[in-house]
Amino acid sequence: MSVTIRAARPADVRAINGLVEPLTHRNILLAKDLVSYYESVQEFLVAEDENGRLVGCGALHVMWEDLAEVRTLAVAESHRGSGVGHRMLLALLARAMQLGLQRVFCLTFEVDFFRRHGFREMDEQVDPEVYNQLLRSADEGVAEFLDLARVKPNTLGNTRMIIDLEHAVIEDRAR
């Protein structure tokens, strides 16, 4: 089965929501309003099958001059285990590299998947000046990155992971 990865368009938002919604019921991803997807559609890549149906999605959200977050990585149940998630993540990491970013963060239950792609559990501290700037963000993903107490109820059981792109080898080795 052939799948094409491309930039998302506003017309894809309802299908993106359809991919994510089943995962929100299982508390794997956080539910979002449609307006949030429309506002961030330019951050999304989608995987489209040969029939034009969206079978995967993922977003890259820039948080700082050297840092971004992989968000909303989801694959249709019918395509899980087929490499769509792998290809989506590689495309998002390639996009981060094109933007000149050095680190990519994620908050996930899928620790083994991200570990196979070079992510490690996060333990480093943020520079105090950067921390103070990031505190001003209203974005919940930034609060998750900073591990702020106010987001703890929404992130229970998730693992904060990060990859250093400067030393990463982004290739098809993760299958």
Spatial separation of the C-alpha atoms in residues 32 and 23, rounded to whole Å: 12
Name the token pair of 110.
Answer: 């899928």
pLDDT in the model for residue 4: 96
Q: Which helix H or strand E contains 132, and what residues bound it?
A: helix 128-134
pLDDT in the model for residue 170: 59
Spatial separation of the C-alpha atoms in residues 115 and 33, rounded to whole Å: 30
User: Cβ atoms within 10 A of the Cβ of 100, count?
Assistant: 9
Spatial separation of the C-alpha atoms in residues 72 and 81, rounded to whole Å: 17
CA 138 to chain centre: 18
* pLDDT band, residue 5 (cuts 50/70/90): very high
Quote the mean pLDDT of the chain.
84
* pLDDT band, residue 157 (cuts 50/70/90): low
* pLDDT band, residue 86 (cuts 50/70/90): very high
